[in-house]
Amino acid sequence: MRPDTFNALAKVLPDFFQAMDRDPRLSSTHVSLYFSLIRQWARSEFKGCIRVYARQGAHRAKISMVSYIKCLKDMHEFGYIRYVPSYNSAEPSSIYLFCRGELRANEAQKVVDSPLIPAKKGN
């Protein structure tokens, strides 16, 4: 693995792994989509924005189009990504992955303060 690849992944994966443990809103479909976005981000050499056509994104994540759109909207609302839909099938949507410390503060705080998310034992 190239050092720049490792550094880029080290910025996003630890926070998402922790979120997977603590956020009950994330399903296996969200996780599948997130990892397909990571793969696309790596292929674009970790540029700030990923441009994805919905059909291709759903196919890469191995989920339906309905699940793809729903999960993108969910993950945007939850603060894990920024999703800017194109609303035009001829144009790809823009997706931004948040690196460590870049989660939208208000959304991240909602997750931490949520009564649905138990605090980790031993902390």
Question: What integer pLDDT is reported at residue 28 of this predicted model?
Answer: 94
What average pLDDT is seen over the chain? Answer: 80
pLDDT tens, residue by residue, 9-24: 777 788 788 888 889 9
Residue 117 has pLDDT above 50, yes or no: no
d(CA 34, CA 97): 9
- What region, left, alpha or beta, does residue 82 occupy, with left being phi > 0 and alpha being psi -120 to 50 degrees? beta
Tokens standing for residue 120: 């980790």
Quick check: pTM over 0.95? Answer: no
Question: What integer pLDDT is reported at residue 97 of this predicted model?
Answer: 85
pLDDT tens, residue by residue, 25-70: 999 999 999 999 999 988 888 888 999 999 999 999 999 999 999 9
Residue 99 has pLDDT above 90, yes or no: no
